[in-house]
């Protein structure tokens, strides 16, 4: 399989905006983006994120006060693991990408979670590839 260099078109399912129910503190959110943005703030402020579109969640998440103990990477790892779980359709689809490189290429300037104009850490892509590897190991047993 060819490398995946952006989460558009046939690879849109890799986007955090793709419908995939994930749970934060017992509450179900419709996408990774919604749950990730909700995780930034205290439980009493999270209701706003439950039923909005992921682009709205992202905008609102830039305005909420961050919990002092919030860990962006750990939160994202948790939601990525849930989205691509053992035995679910998205987990199987991820496994089927084989060993190709997965990169969250973007034009928004996000160089932490993705790559913009050839620059970036691609942390989301790396988390997804780690998750794929774990799913493949379990599938081999």
Summarize pLDDT for 75-95 with one digit per residue, the tens: 999 999 999 999 999 999 999
Would the pTM count as exceeding 0.85? yes
Taking 50 as the pLDDT cut, the residues of the chain under it are 141
- Number of domains the chain is built from: 1
Q: Report the alpha-carbon distance of residue 46 to residue 19 in Å, rounded.
A: 18
**Closest to 75 (Cα-Cα) out of 132, 29, 106, 133:** 29
Q: Are strands 102-106 and 4-6 parallel, antiparallel or unpaired?
A: parallel
Burial of 19 (0-12, 13-18, 19+ CB in 10 A): exposed
Per-residue confidence (pLDDT) for residue 30, from 0 to 100: 98
Whichever domain contains 33, its CATH number is 1.10.357.40
Per-residue confidence (pLDDT) for residue 140, from 0 to 100: 60
Give residue 84's domain range.
4-140
Radius of gyration (C-alpha) of the chain in whole angstroms: 15
Q: Report the alpha-carbon distance of residue 130 to residue 135 in Å, rounded.
A: 9
């Amino acid at each position: 399989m060819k490398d995946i260099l952006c989460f558009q078109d046939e690879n849109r399912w890799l986007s955090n905006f793709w419908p995939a129910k994930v749970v934060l503190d017992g509450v179900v959110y419709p996408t990774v983006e919604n749950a990730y943005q909700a995780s930034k703030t205290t439980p009493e402020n999270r209701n706003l994120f439950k039923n909005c579109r992921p682009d709205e969640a992202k905008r609102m998440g830039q305005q909420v006060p961050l919990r002092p103990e919030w860990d962006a990477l750990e939160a994202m790892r948790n939601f990525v693991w849930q989205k691509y779980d053992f035995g679910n359709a998205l987990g199987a689809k991820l496994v089927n990408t084989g060993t190709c490189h997965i990169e969250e290429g973007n034009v928004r300037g996000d160089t932490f979670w993705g790559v913009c104009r050839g620059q970036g850490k691609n942390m989301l892509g790396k988390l997804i590839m780690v998750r794929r590897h774990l799913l493949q190991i379990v599938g081999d047993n």
